[in-house]
Structure 1
Amino acid sequence: LVQGDQTGDKPLSDYVKEYIKDRYKKPGDVFLGVIHRLDRPVSGVVVFARTSKGLERMNRLFHDRKVHKTYWAITAARPEPLEGELVHYISKDSTRNVAKALDRPSNRYPDAKRSELTYKMLAAIGTNVLLQVEPRTGRPHQIRVQLSRIGCPVRGDVKYGFEHPNHDGSIHLHCRELAFEHPVKKEPVVITADPPHEQLWDLFMHLWE
């Protein structure tokens, strides 16, 4: 949970504020800008801004699609082909918090937005397949609904077609890397995060040891 919601659960942003307050001995309220969000069951890299100017500059990078995002997803099916590009039109039902991927624009879903990603298979262990996914657009639930549309729902993602949930409520989708040019220093910034320690993720991580 990146930012507070109606559940009342403590969000990641509150933990980061506490860290900043302690680390830099800041009195009173601490500013923290939420630049982007991950779906609640998704793990991985999250970037915050410590100043309002930093927030404005980072928001511009995301808006202009100058942040390169790399995700890992584990599915129980191999995509055909094993590497390719997906283009769908995604409509979001905010009431039900669910998205729908269409193969083409439809008058029934006038709000549907063009959504693009590339993917490739990195490895397979038994029936489990590790995909690297790079979204070119930032639509709600984009990777989840687009992979489901081609018959490769993310493991644990019952909202989008996987048959059973993970025991902890997570899904096997992880933001592996964010890369961008620092808005002030103009230097390349690459932030990576390993997947959480979990049996299936660990099996794939051991392949690179």
Structure 2
Amino acid sequence: MVQGIGRVISSLSSMKIIFQDKDFIIVDKPVGIPVHAGIGTENPSASSRKASWAEKTLVDFLVEKFPEIKSVGDSPELRPGIVHRLDRETSGVLVVARNQEAFNYLKDLFKKREVEKKYLVLVHGRLKNKEGKIEGEMGRSKRDFRKQSFVRGKIKVRKGRYSLTYYRVLKEWNDYSLLEVFPKTGRMHQIRVHLHSLGYPVVGDPKYTFKKYKKQSYPRMFLHAREISFRDQKGKRRKFISPLSQEMKDFLGRIDDRKE
């Protein structure tokens, strides 16, 4: 078993702009930075709201660099320009709209599932099936509002709750597998919940895991939004890639160096 030394701590200074034009921005989000204030809370107390709003977010970084996005989106006071999200502990590529027309266009692409997303994920264990799909109904857990529940299989799914993820194994070790994952819907915590439902939780995930992994220390959650592609408003195919962070490369290198 390979363990990390402490958790990775990122700051807004580690944020990178991969691409920008008059319509959208492609951001490389580091691990540990929330996209906007209030993510992961529901009916928070006054004190927790104050703490949440005091924390620096991706939106803070964007508004400072691109003040024109302040009025863009369906809730610009909370998430200006934000078309989709990544979890706080997920790193990688994110598209942000610079004007309302681009926001509406990109939002529609996501709704129609015409945006292709590719993730690199390290999980515990070796998958029985080296490629496959996971589908079923997702929704807020009744036991814990901070988590998502999932019923796997071809069932009659309630409107707005269907979830679908494809995956394939890229590399295996004795107790880890590196996957390439393609989510076709965008439910909260979808990849994490889906892989946990198969019995292969994401390495470093503190929320969707098993008791035997909770005492192990890892530098971060190993979920990385590697690639996003879509057709822009002019019909041109666009593809953007976020390289693996150094801490992820180092951890994978330590696994490779072990004697299996």
Does the aligned pair in 2 maintain the 1:88–1:146 contact within 8 Å? no
Unaligned runs of 5+ in 2: 1-33, 39-48, 73-79
Deviation of the 1:17 alpha carbon: 2.0
Q: Which residue of 1 aligns with 2:62?
A: 16
Q: Which secondary structure does the structure 2 equivalent of 1:34 belong to?
A: coil
Residue deviations 1:99-139 (CA, integer Å, cap 9, x gap): 112124889x9678221111011112452211000011111
Structure 1 CA distance, aligned partners of 2:71 and 2:162?
38
Q: Which secondary structure does the structure 2 equivalent of 1:161 belong to?
A: coil
- When the two structures are aligned, how many residues end up with a matched partner? 198
What is the identity, as a one-letter code, of the residue corresponding to 1:3?
H
What is the identity, as a one-letter code, of the residue corresponding to 1:190?
K
With the length of structure 2 as denominator, give the TM-score of the two structures: 0.67
Q: Which secondary structure does the structure 2 equivalent of 1:176 belong to?
A: strand
Does the aligned pair in 2 maintain the 1:92–1:112 contact within 8 Å? no
What is the identity, as a one-letter code, of the residue corresponding to 1:2?
V
User: Equivalent pairs: percent with the same residue?
Assistant: 29
The question of 1:127 aligning with 2:175 is answered yes
Does the aligned pair in 2 maintain the 1:157–1:171 contact within 8 Å? yes
Deviation of the 1:90 alpha carbon: 1.4
Q: Which residue of 1 aligns with 2:162?
A: 114
Which residue among 63, 66, 72 is the counterpart of 2:120?
72
Structure 1 residues 202, 186: CA separation in 2 closer, same or farther (over 3 Å shift)?
Answer: farther
Q: Which residue of 2 aligns with 1:138?
A: 186
CA RMSD, aligned part only?
Answer: 2.9
With the length of structure 1 as denominator, give the TM-score of the two structures: 0.82
Matches within 5 A, 1:1-209: 1-5=34-38, 6=49, 7-8=52-53, 9-20=55-66, 32-93=80-141, 96-104=145-153, 113-162=161-210, 163-164=213-214, 170-183=220-233, 185-198=234-247, 200-202=248-250, 204=252
Structure 2 CA distance, aligned partners of 1:61 and 1:111?
19
> Deviating runs (4+, > 3 A) in structure 1?
29-32, 104-107, 109-112, 165-168, 200-207
What is the identity, as a one-letter code, of the residue corresponding to 2:58?
L
Structure 1 CA distance, aligned partners of 2:84 and 2:198?
26
Unaligned runs of 5+ in 1: none
Deviation of the 1:20 alpha carbon: 2.8
Deviation of the 1:189 alpha carbon: 0.6
Structure 1 CA distance, aligned partners of 2:249 and 2:195?
19
Structure 1 CA distance, aligned partners of 2:153 and 2:252?
35
Deviation of the 1:173 alpha carbon: 0.6
Does the aligned pair in 2 maintain the 1:144–1:154 contact within 8 Å? yes
